[in-house]
Amino acid sequence: MNIAPGKTEASGIPFDQARVDRLMEEAGIDVLFATSKHNTQYLLGGYKFIFFAAMDAIGHSRYLPIVLYEKGGPEHAAYIGNKMEGGEHENHPFWTPTLHAACWGTLDAANLAVEHLQKIGKQAARIGIEPAFLPSDAYSLIRKALPDAKLIDATSMLERMRAIKTEAELEKLRTASELITDSMLATIAWAREGTTKTDIIEQLRREETNRGAHFEYCLLTLGASHNRAASSQAWKQGEVLSIDSGGNYHGYIGDLCRMGILGEPDAELEDLLSEIESVQQAAFSKVKAGTLGGDMIAHAESVLKASKVAAYTDFFAHGMGLITHEAPFLMTNHPVTYEGTYAAKPLEKNMVLSVETTMLHSTRGFIKLEDTVAVTDTGYAMFGDRGRGWNRGGVA
């Protein structure tokens, strides 16, 4: 299905066109060929097809959404989607002048993309692709059908595109963080002696869903254990609980960690959490537009190194947005395998960071704080900044 094939200009472009065009020019890209869910969602202004939200596979193939965007030529933009997405367009029209809602797999989607590129005269262009999100059968078809085209890895360019959040994106990230925090605190208060890890995780899922968030995961520990997987382990009086959850609101991720205690925290527990808080605050103190990302990391690490808990405690910070680890990339292979390419670059206003300090104590267990902050001109704004001390269980 080709919607409005004769339309010659685009309207309602949902991203900063001048910035995207500049990033494409710097990367040597004439046409974007976006195929990941997060980048197609970004380029479509937040849209993601609900039918394939949880799973891509169907029949013998898989769902492959494609957004084609020509640098400086939004009137030539196209969205290629599943056949059922025609109904989505009827209710909430896509901004792209061309829509092909006709596909059931990777090859028919790739074929339509090739035909569109040929139609707009870009069969020999420098095409920016996402290698990690372009199936091999679709890649082979494109390579054979467009022998004169140059396929360029657009991953870095697309990451840079998403690094600076709009005010609307910041609000979604704030909402996601608030919903996750509220859900974790309610779950801690609900859980009591004898409640299992599996039950606590299921309760958190309900809390997040009932608040309008989409539950994605919960990493949970009880007592002295460092194992964060679901199990039949039950919470006991005097034990700590670490609850680390990721969920999203309209696709934007909330990812935070809070601590619980069944009973009252003793002096040692208060002291241990205070050590973690000192490292977190050291990191926050360096978050400001213009500060080198690596300087923020180095300052937090220096405070941790001087701490009495340094031998069994780790500090980490990473970018947040439509995915849990995105630009700015501040640390190399720690623990996720990517290069800390932003360590030598200044933080910019409206970047969003996850800041986390994790202690693996031999007898008191897994003790951690993880917070989400947005970079501002004068410092930072924290999202979901409640419950950062010891939260009592069994009080709901």
pLDDT at 3: 41
Neighbours of 177 (CB within 10 A): 29
Whether 2 has a pLDDT exceeding 70, the answer reads no
Burial letters 94-104, b for 16+ CB under 10 A, else e: bbbbbbbbbbb
What is the layout of strands, in order, in the sheet containing 98-103?
98-103, 73-82, 66-70, 31-34, 126-129, 150-153
pLDDT digits (tens, 9 = 90+) for 26-57: 999 999 999 999 999 999 999 999 999 989 99
C-alpha–C-alpha distance, residues 65 and 58, integer Å: 13
Give CA separation, 13 vs 42, 157, 265, 279, in Å.
11, 19, 53, 42
C-alpha–C-alpha distance, residues 5 and 32, integer Å: 20
Q: What angle (nearest 5°) sits at the alpha carbon of residue 352, between those of residues 351 and 354? A: 145
pTM: 0.94
Give CA separation, 226 vs 61, 123, 152, in Å.
39, 54, 42
Q: What angle (nearest 5°) sits at the alpha carbon of residue 335, between those of residues 23 and 310? A: 125
Whether 8 has a pLDDT exceeding 50, the answer reads no
pLDDT at 91: 95
Contacts of 305 (CB under 8 A, 6+ apart): none
Contacts of 290 (CB under 8 A, 6+ apart): 346, 347
Helices 293-305 and 267-285: angle between axes, nearest 10 degrees = 150
pLDDT at 340: 96
Q: What are phi and psi of 263, to 5 degrees?
A: 120, -140
What is the sign of the dihedral through the CA atoms of 198, 202, 203 and 204? Answer: positive
Binned at pLDDT 50, 70 and 90, residue 10 comes out as low
pLDDT digits (tens, 9 = 90+) for 313-351: 999 999 999 999 999 999 999 989 999 999 999 999 999
Answer for the pair 67, 130: CB distance below 8 angstroms, yes or no.
no
C-alpha–C-alpha distance, residues 332 and 155, integer Å: 17
Share of the chain above pLDDT 70, in %: 97
Q: Tell me which H or E stretch contains 390.
A: strand 390-392
In 3D, which of 162, 153, 159 has the Cα closest to residue 28?
153
What is the sign of the dihedral through the CA atoms of 190, 191, 196 and 197? Answer: positive
C-alpha–C-alpha distance, residues 83 and 81, integer Å: 7
Mean pLDDT (whole number) for 261-281: 98
Phi-psi domain of 76 (left: phi exceeds 0; alpha: psi -120 through 50; beta: other): alpha
User: Dihedral of the CA atoms 111, 162, 253, 54 (nearest 10)?
Assistant: 0
Token look-up 């002291």 returns 271
How long, in residues, is the chain?
396
pLDDT at 4: 39
Whether 6 has a pLDDT exceeding 50, the answer reads no
Burial letters 129-141, b for 16+ CB under 10 A, else e: bbeebbbeebbeb
pLDDT digits (tens, 9 = 90+) for 212-248: 999 999 999 999 999 999 999 999 999 999 999 999 9
Burial letters 219-241, b for 16+ CB under 10 A, else e: bbbbbebeebebeebbbeeebbb
User: Dihedral of the CA atoms 123, 125, 130, 132 (nearest 10)?
Assistant: 70
Helix intervals (H) in the chain: 17-27, 37-43, 85-91, 106-119, 136-145, 155-163, 167-190, 197-210, 267-285, 293-305
pLDDT digits (tens, 9 = 90+) for 336-389: 999 999 999 999 999 999 999 999 999 999 999 999 999 999 999 999 999 999
Bridge-based pairing state of the strands 126-129 and 150-153: parallel
